[in-house]
Chain A
């Protein structure tokens, strides 16, 4: 059987004059036959076009020159006879069923990347961030807080030393090494009763928090405050801030690569929602860690739970039983869930 012939117009790359040609494959050698010449191209010396509905199928010849084929179907019929195959990507793009499969796989991959791969990679990478960078970030945060958000602490030095000593003793009893976290006291002008774990091993505590915690009845002195500090220590120990920073940066890059074309808004919203979601996971982690430390130091979680109840937990926690979608707009897990987690871990 003689090989299938297909037709097209040859251009030599030197002039735009079309030359009608007939083509065939002899094995995988492409033969281009024009009225006054014949060109043969071995495999690897020509590039066949992808099969599309209306697009011009163009064969590139190495060393210049190209052929516009009249019919992509005839081209590939002949090429298949010569033992050539279409690319994987091209085959997948030709059928709706395969394209929709690609869509499903894309969504599954994105979800898995967001849910498992990214947190895993961030957990792995966060401790590797040089201490210098963490410290400089922490100092930046302190400067920012000191610049109007908070004022110097009004607590007597003796009281501060007492809290620091109790905090260190609790950590020691929980087996957390000799000199773990440093407490930094501030009077929270705009931030109210609050505590933050800053990068670089510093936990910032406001006077207002110390005062609020003192109102919680407890068996041991400062039990509620120690609970909050244990929670913040959990953030610190797990490099949560750095993990979050890494995750959110990757998320921002990925969403802008995916949706950046549409507009800034489309790229920002998933980043914020995703960032909040991660934050909730980290809060759960820190709660678990707090429960562990408290229990190891023979302290109770109940004062901490009472304190969270008093302070309304955090942003958005004013609605105790909101509709489910609200969960995605909150930084901390919902109250009931959280109490359960603490009690379970504290046992």
Chain B
């Protein structure tokens, strides 16, 4: 959905922080954005994707200029030509990868490793591009983090992820001929996922400790433990939901077929294969169900955690996203987008952006009229577009 990276979209002061609370107001409308979106889509298709760079600038401007703080809107400054170039480079990289994977799987593994090793650099470029092209009252945001810091922050978890990829390849090569080794690899793979919250935390710290609005530096005071807390609670919730889903399904089966029939069906499933396939489908459905249900919880808690512990200069944010409300918005969005074959998408983006942005207030300490600008820089869009293409969400 819509991201407003670089824009402090959460806000409000923790109790006792002092300062006047200024709300973030979002004034976009679904109908108006639909009209922009459909024209963007048409022109992008007719131009075989070239216009999509201009479309992105239109979209970003629409969302930024409809997001206001203290009477002034945010703004987006990226040049479409820079975005187009970034998209071409990123897409060319993807094509090379796909072709290599088809012709020579080992070369693809090498490229994947190169991509993972390059990831911190891409994150660094993407953050620089995004911040340098976002402004409020003519003052540009900036990102001062270095490439070295990006590697120090992200390389360990990224290496662990490479281990996961290695495990997958290893498993595929062994094809279960050595069960013990397979299990060890699997365990290592699963174990490295325990580093995901750490990776997320370090990414956030790298982002929020190095961002600035003009001369005002941002600081984050979130701790790794808090990230693990949110992840763990989400996981527990998801597991509970999966179990509940399976119990409900079993109960439904028994209710429909009668208990003896259900047991008989389960016991006499021919050949085992259909039974396994059925089980796989149930597990997949349960996993998807849990993902849908738990994701709003995760996103709400994460936004609140991150923004309530971020300040820009003396100003703090208060983010009060409610899980239930976010859940209702995301669920209804999902259903409506499916039911309208995607036509509801722009309305959904606006609804979600409005709720997430308006849940944020800024506790202003001192004067918003006296923020000084820093140096302006031009950044190539490659990092941003590569991150976009590979769905690497470094936004809110």
Contacts and interface: CB of A to CB of B under 8 A. Distances in A.
A83 interface: no
Contacts of B369: 16-18
Interface in A157-205: none
Interface residues of A, number: 47
B72 A55 contact: no
A98 B76 CA distance: 26
Contact of A110 (B1, B45, B214): B45
Contact of A106 (B29, B38, B371): B38
B121 interface: no
Given A11-B137, A68-B72, A99-B34, A16 B45 contact: no
Contacts of A321: none
Given A55-B65, A105-B42, A262-B337, A16 B35 contact: no
A323 interface: no
B42 A52 contact: no
Interface string A99-112: 10011011001100
Interface string B10-42: 000000000000000001110110111011111
A102 B38 contact: yes
A106 B41 contact: yes
Contacts of A14: 372-373
B376 A64 contact: yes
Contacts of B68: 56
A116 interface: no
Contacts of A54: 27-29, 32, 66
Select the residue from B39, B72, B345, B371 with max chain A CB neighbours within 10 A: B39
A12 interface: yes
B376 to A, nearest CB: 7
A263 interface: yes
B99 to A, nearest CB: 9
B253 interface: no
B142 to A, nearest CB: 13
Nearest to B45: A109
B298 to A, nearest CB: 16
Interface string A17-46: 110000000000000000000000000000
Interface stretch (A73-81, A87-95, A304-312, A339-347): A87-95
A16 B103 contact: no
Nearest to A260: B391
Contacts of A49: 61, 65
A58 B337 contact: no
Contact of A266 (B31, B139, B338): B338
B35 A96 contact: yes
A144 interface: no
Interface of B: 1, 27-29, 31-32, 34-36, 38-43, 45-46, 54, 58, 61-62, 65-66, 68, 72-73, 75, 77, 102-103, 135-140, 214, 334, 337-338, 342-343, 345, 368-373, 376, 391
B65 A56 contact: yes
17 contacts: A11-B137, A13-B140, A14-B373, A16-B369, A16-B370, A17-B369, A54-B29, A64-B376, A66-B135, A68-B72, A92-B35, A93-B35, A99-B39, A103-B343, A110-B45, A136-B103, A262-B342
A68 B75 CA distance: 10
A98 B276 CA distance: 53
Nearest to A66: B138
Contacts, number: 132
A237 interface: no
Task: Give the 8 A-B CB pairs with smallest separation, nearest first.
Answer: A11-B138, A56-B73, A54-B27, A99-B35, A55-B65, A16-B371, A16-B137, A93-B35
A222 interface: no
Contacts of B214: 16
A258 interface: yes
Contacts of A98: 35, 39
Nearest to B63: A55
A14 B138 CA distance: 8
A12 B138 contact: yes
Contacts of A262: 334, 337-338, 342, 345
A52 B136 CA distance: 19
A209 to B, nearest CB: 24
Contact of A261 (B1, B45, B135): B1
Contacts of B46: 109
Given A11-B137, A14-B373, A56-B72, 12 more contacts: A11-B138, A13-B139, A15-B373, A16-B138, A16-B370, A54-B27, A55-B28, A56-B66, A66-B75, A89-B54, A259-B342, A266-B342
A89 B40 contact: yes
B151 to A, nearest CB: 30
Nearest to A133: B103
A133 B29 CA distance: 50
A152 interface: no
B139 A99 contact: no
A65 interface: yes
A94 B32 CA distance: 8
Contacts of B75: 56, 58, 66
A17 B77 CA distance: 20
A50 interface: yes
